[in-house]
Amino acid sequence: MREEILRMENVTTDYDGVIYLDNLNLQIYKGEIMGLIPINKQGKSELVQLLCQNSPINYGRIYLNNELVNYYEHSTNSMNRVYVISQYSKLIQDLTVSDNIFVLRRGFKKYVINSKVLRGQVNQHLKEMDVTIDPDELVANLNSFEQCVIELVKAIITGANLIIISDITNILSVVDLSKLYHLLRSYSEKGYSFLFIGNHHEEVFAISDRVALMKDGAIIKILDEQEMKSDLIKTYTISFADGKQKVEAYSGQGILEFEKVCTNHLNKMSFSIKKGECVVLFDTNNTIYNDLLELVNGEQLPQSGMILYNNHEYTEKISKKSLENGIAVIVENATQKMIFYNLDYVDNLYFLVDKKLDKNILKVKFKKSIIKEYEGILGDEIYAKELTGLELTSLYNLVYYRIHLYNPNIVFCVQPFSGADMYLRKHIADLIRELKRKGITVVILAVNISDTLTVADRLMVIEQGTVVREYLKEEFESIHVIS
């Protein structure tokens, strides 16, 4: 008989009258990797928080290792032996690996710390993982995968009953994700239990023994190994197809070209992007994007090679004023980094255009013209004075239609679908299509290609800083194996 690690029975929680978990049932067994796909965001963070801490619930019971730890009549607020590894590292960046693992953990009571002993214990665990990391290295000097490994070591040493892996595919390259999958599988075979949370079914299916589909705070379906197939999950997903008139084909005229460009991470990179197309640059090693953006923004010069923009050399002088010269960037987590919450909606919307307006133009009159043009698209949200209460879809509208209004020649979108649930990802895909409809060239910088191919015309696969393969839209169906 399988040993049960977690059982949640009819768990219901609400805050301020809003239900987050709705009669939720979930079981995880010893040595199992349980996948969880939240179809929408409702209840996702609340579930993780509740597994970590026994906060009050409205109804139901929660068992860990067959012990009743939380139920609707009594919640202790005590902490459970559950460890969460997410895209946001909990490690202290200016401390060493050993200090993070041992000194900062609960229950560590040694007043005299034997560094040699600690290093030896860390090395033992890393050797078992076939990973080489110096225990005396500062965490700040580790890459994302290495920091995940250290958090996994910490979870194991602290004796976690359940290890939650949440949205980790947003920060790991395909190569590193494969390594992590191998580690999780090896530790599940040793009896450790995992809850693997991800937004894309392809990534969750690749590692899980079973998968739970969660919607509106409830588990609506449990898929076993035989049911983890893309065609069977379509019933529970939404189509990413373009619901509007088809975007016209791009003109074929070149707009951006790299000719054997070298930097610290680019290795004789060559590619050509045509005006009006959408291209996905998929870096399997997740190393080039900072260099690429710094080249575009004039923060770095090529060590060798040449960049052409609109058939002219992209000089340092031009790159220093990249935005004024028609090159824009939408960063990852754009609603957190690209919106001015002290300004109202319209001021945010025309923020970029304001920089290039003739000072003689009356701003009040110009704002009215913007409202007239975009009210039919954005609705009443365009009149919002406070942005903090708006839905995420409205905030993404603001980010993308600001670019739409500015009308650059080309826009780089960095991980546009990162952290978004299924409905929000569909909305972002439609916003990218609106940029294409206006004739704006779109370049998507992606660590994984889930969803990006729904809007792309071409895919370029990059390994070790150089383009190794290229696929046209009609070839996309044959490349799911690299996602």
**Residues in the chain, total:** 483
Asked if the model's pLDDT at residue 168 lies above 80, the reply is yes
Task: Grade residue 480 by pLDDT with cuts at 50, 70 and 90.
Answer: low
- Percent of the chain whose predicted confidence (pLDDT) is above 70: 93
Could you tell me which residues come within 8 angstroms of residue 184 by beta carbon, excluding any fewer than 6 positions away? 33, 165, 194, 196, 207
CA distance 392 to 333: 11
Q: Rounded to whole angstroms, how far apart are CA atoms 205 and 201?
A: 6
466-472: average pLDDT: 94
Q: pTM higher than 0.75 for the full model? A: yes
Of the candidates 219, 191, 218, 196, the one whose C-alpha atom is nearest the C-alpha of residue 209 is 196
- Please give the mean pLDDT across all residues of the chain: 90
- CB of 54 closer than 8 Å to CB of 80: yes
Q: Write down the pLDDT at residue 125.
A: 82
Structure confidence at residue 481 (pLDDT): 41
pLDDT in tens, 411-434: 999 999 988 999 999 999 999 999
Domain chopping of the chain, boundaries: 4-236, 254-482
Instruction: Summarize pLDDT for 132-148 with one digit per residue, the tens.
Output: 898 889 999 999 999 99
pLDDT per position as a tens digit, 341-367: 999 999 999 888 876 665 555 577 888
Q: Report how far residue 141's alpha carbon sits from residue 157's, in angstroms, rounded to the nearest whole number.
A: 22
The pLDDT assigned to 129 comes to 87
* pLDDT above 80 (res 221): yes
* Residues 355-400: tens digit of each pLDDT: 666 555 557 788 888 999 999 999 999 999 999 989 999 999 999 9
Q: Do domains 4-236 and 254-482 have the same CATH topology?
A: yes
Reading phi first (left if > 0) and then psi (alpha if -120 to 50, else beta), residue 276 is in left
Cα angle at 384 between 379 and 389, to 5 degrees? 105
| Fold entry, domain 254-482 | Rossmann fold (3.40.50)
CATH number for the segment(s) 4-236:
3.40.50.300
Residue the block writes with tokens 């301020």: 16
The residues, any chain, with a CB within 8 Å of residue 240's CB and separated by 6 or more, are: 425, 426, 429, 451, 454
Mean pLDDT of 35-64: 95
Whose CA is closest to 319, among 410, 415, 432, 441?
Answer: 410
